[in-house]
Amino acid sequence: MQRTAAILIIALATPLAARAAPNFVLVYVDDLGWAETSVAMIKGRQDTRSDYYQTPNIARLAQSGMVLSACYSPSALCAPSRNSLLHGMTPSRLRYTVLSAVEAKKKYMGRITIPQAIKQANPEYVTAHFGKWHNESIKPTSAGYDFTDGPNGNGPGDFADDGKTHLSDDDPKRIFSLTDKSVEFIKEQSAAKRPFYLQLSHYALHIWHDSLEATREKYKKLPTGRKYSKQDDISREEMSISQFNHGWIINYAAMLDDMDRAFGVLLDAIDELGIADNTYIILTSDNGGGFRGNAPLRGGKGSLYEGGIRMPSFVRGPGIKAGSYCSVPVVQWDFLQTFYDLAGGTKPLPPELDGGSLRDVFEHGDQGVVKRNTEALVFHFPWHTGEPESAIRVGDYKLRKNLDSLETQLFDLSKDLGEKRDLSRELPKVAETLERQRVAYLESVDAETVTLTRRNYVELLEGGWIENGKRRLARLKAELAADPENKQKAFKVGVSQNHVDFQDRQLQRSKRLIRMHEERGTAERN
């Protein structure tokens, strides 16, 4: 009797995740802004949620799990973020910091991937990736996925498999077919009683924006809320709905609503299969949104201000308190070590990994601690077509540096979430310490410099990008001349002409900035 009681006590004291192989579902949304869901990202702050977009199923996830108020993406753009998440290493260490994968293709810097790590923890796991891949460093099958529909870029989110025909009206951005595929995978593994890891990477909310007609009609009747005005509510009925970019907020709201509804189908399936108590579900985004949905954060996609890298992130699963909030800074390159730990992995992982397990944070919220191989959060974005930046966060302080002007800014994020007050002159020693840490890390991993990324970009432009664009423009102009009333063709000609002009300007700008750095003789990491 005493022995039975002792066994029962041990069982009750052991976290569920340690007693059974848990399942993992990672839903990776494209370009979802920090405050674009109907969930307040900071408890009690209504300005950190949307009063226009409706995401009841994301709210359902938050209510049954935890809101990660300070979860960061690895980069301000998608490809570096996806590669970093997959490998548990910073984009800097992987030499994949911008959309161009020139350096990453020269030498594969990865050591292990999420599916490989999970299978190392337990070979019984079955892994799948459906949706947008957009990672030129490695293919899904080489990364260890058993099931995949990739590698895919942005195109399949807008067109059928032929690359020309727009997707059917009932499956905008493949939102629903990707969900169906994911549900089928979950059902198969559940029936076979196999633990699984699934990453569902939505093409939504990336341009071109698209949505169900019925959902658009719903949002036409709603007030636009505090962040938008009627000027955002511009209907362009003469164009195909899939051609809209940032001109019609209704379409964007409807697309997010459609994605949320599909997410509800995924949650329902997990609940109905009876595996919810042993399944971790994380929903997050690859970079900041392109609208005002990041406010009160500063900046957005393509920026290392908080709006570009702080993600709307939610998790539920074994040991996670329902309706909880956590403000501990976490980053997506922590996910690999987290899944490995929760899957039962015990052998040391490669020392080059930068992340650490989030188990303690999941179980204890703000009292949790993340022990990383690289303590500081270093974000390096030597962007060749925009403003090149580099940033570091340690504790509450964040330092951001412009790699062209070499100007630095220091913020205390605990008091200044919107990064409005530069403290670099008030706290010069703090700024100097963070700058030394930033430089030391980037030098230790031989990170790409902005001059290197610009040189690679110039080679790509001169090596065929501009000429290919001009040939496409000439072909479209000829087609428009044969059918001058074709508004869709006229739209494409305009877009192509703008793109060619943009590339011409960027070529000259990049050459000019390369000369500036060379003449100045400045090491850009400094």
The predicted-structure confidence for 279-290, as pLDDT tens digits, reads as follows 999 999 999 998
**The Cα angle at residue 333 between residues 330 and 335, in degrees rounded to 5:** 80
Q: How far apart are alpha carbons 203 and 293 in whole angstroms?
A: 18
Label residue 204 exposed, middle or buried (CB < 10 Å: 0-12, 13-18, 19+). buried
372 occurs within a structural domain: no
What pLDDT, on the 0 to 100 scale, is given for residue 229? 66
Q: How far apart are alpha carbons 216 and 254 in whole angstroms?
A: 5
Q: What is the CATH number for 74?
A: 3.40.720.10
What pLDDT, on the 0 to 100 scale, is given for residue 209? 85
- Considering the domain architecture, whether residues 140 and 274 belong to the same structural domain is answered as yes
217 occurs within a structural domain: yes
- Considering the domain architecture, whether residues 469 and 425 belong to the same structural domain is answered as no
Bridge partners of residue 391, in order along the sequence: 379, 400
Contacts of 75 (CB under 8 A, 6+ apart): 81, 84, 91, 97, 287, 309, 379, 381
400 occurs within a structural domain: yes
- Considering the domain architecture, whether residues 183 and 107 belong to the same structural domain is answered as yes
229 occurs within a structural domain: yes
Q: What is the CATH number for 425?
A: 3.30.1120.10
Q: Domain range spanning residue 415?
A: 378-444
Residues in the chain: 526
How far the first Cα of the chain sits from its last, in Å, is: 68
What pLDDT, on the 0 to 100 scale, is given for residue 429? 98
- Considering the domain architecture, whether residues 293 and 153 belong to the same structural domain is answered as yes
What's the number of domains the chain is made of?
3
Domain boundary (413, 444, 475) is at 444
- Considering the domain architecture, whether residues 303 and 425 belong to the same structural domain is answered as no
- Considering the domain architecture, whether residues 30 and 154 belong to the same structural domain is answered as yes
Taking alpha carbons only, the member of 252, 268, 189 closest to residue 216 is: 252
198 occurs within a structural domain: yes
- Considering the domain architecture, whether residues 176 and 247 belong to the same structural domain is answered as yes
- Considering the domain architecture, whether residues 479 and 424 belong to the same structural domain is answered as no
Q: Give the containing element (helix H, strand E) for 475.
A: helix 466-482
What pLDDT, on the 0 to 100 scale, is given for residue 523? 56
- Considering the domain architecture, whether residues 386 and 470 belong to the same structural domain is answered as no
Contact 26, 131 (CB under 8 A): no
- Considering the domain architecture, whether residues 173 and 98 belong to the same structural domain is answered as yes
What pLDDT, on the 0 to 100 scale, is given for residue 255? 95
What pLDDT, on the 0 to 100 scale, is given for residue 415? 97
- Considering the domain architecture, whether residues 416 and 317 belong to the same structural domain is answered as no
| Cis ω before 205 (30° cut-off from 0) | yes
301 occurs within a structural domain: yes
326 occurs within a structural domain: no
3-state DSSP call for residue 29?
strand
Angle between helix axes 56-63 and 249-272 (nearest 10 degrees) is 50
143 occurs within a structural domain: yes
Q: Give the containing element (helix H, strand E) for 363.
A: helix 359-364
Q: Which two tokens stand for residue 238?
A: 């003469």
Long-range contacts of 513-521 (CB under 8 A, 24+ apart): 513/404, 513/450, 513/454, 514/451, 514/454, 514/455, 514/458, 516/404, 517/450, 517/451, 518/451
What pLDDT, on the 0 to 100 scale, is given for residue 233? 52
What pLDDT, on the 0 to 100 scale, is given for residue 494? 87
Per-residue pLDDT of the chain (526 residues; tens, 9 = 90+): 343 343 333 334 444 344 589 999 999 999 999 999 999 999 999 999 999 999 999 999 999 999 999 999 999 999 999 999 999 999 999 999 999 899 999 999 999 999 999 999 999 999 999 999 999 999 999 999 999 998 999 999 988 888 878 888 999 999 999 999 999 999 999 999 999 999 999 999 998 888 999 998 898 888 887 877 655 554 444 444 444 443 478 889 999 999 999 999 999 999 999 999 999 999 999 999 987 789 999 999 999 999 999 999 999 999 999 999 999 999 999 999 999 999 999 999 999 999 999 999 999 999 999 999 999 999 999 998 889 999 999 999 999 999 999 999 999 999 999 999 999 999 999 999 999 999 999 999 999 999 999 999 999 999 999 999 999 999 999 998 998 888 878 888 888 999 999 999 999 999 999 999 988 876 555 5
Contacts of 212 (CB under 8 A, 6+ apart): 169, 170, 172, 254, 258
- Considering the domain architecture, whether residues 301 and 170 belong to the same structural domain is answered as yes
Handedness of CA 52, 55, 61, 67 (dihedral sign): negative
What pLDDT, on the 0 to 100 scale, is given for residue 13? 43
What pLDDT, on the 0 to 100 scale, is given for residue 156? 92
